[in-house]
Structure 1
């Protein structure tokens, strides 16, 4: 599994960081940083929740 973030779409609202703080952080510029691009499968549920919570659809999970 791989996390993809479209930093151009990101509005910096921080929903992803709230849902999965071990994997996402909103930086000083107000855009998402992916802290671990290839997390283990055991984190899928939290990451899917974070992806779905993004109001601007800036996140994707790829298998």
Structure 2
């Protein structure tokens, strides 16, 4: 699984980091940083939850 990240759309809510800390982090400005590309299989459910919870729709599941 891959995730597309739109750093320009990110509003620094941090839902992604709280949902999937092995996959996402935030830089010094609070903007999302993708840590795992591709996402490890063990993190699929958490990563999907992060995509769903992103209030800015800055995360999308990428086509395989």
Q: Same fold (TM over 0.5)?
A: yes
Task: Output the aligned Cα RMSD.
Answer: 1.1
Query: Which stretches of structure 1, 4 residues or longer, exceed 6 Å deviation after superposition?
Result: none
Could you give the per-residue CA deviations for residues 4-34 of structure 1, whole angstroms, max 9, x where no partner exists? 1100000011000000000101110221000
Structure 2: how far apart are the matches of 1:37 and 1:15?
19
TM-score (norm 1): 0.90
Aligned pair count reads 63
Check conservation: 1:3, 1:59, Cα contact below 8 A: yes
Give the 5 Å matches for 1:1-63.
Answer: 1-62=1-62, 63=64
Which blocks of at least 5 consecutive residues in structure 2 are unaligned? none
TM-score, normalized by length of structure 2? 0.89
3-state SS in 2 of match to 1:25 = strand
Where structure 1 has 5 or more consecutive residues not aligned to the other structure, the ranges are none
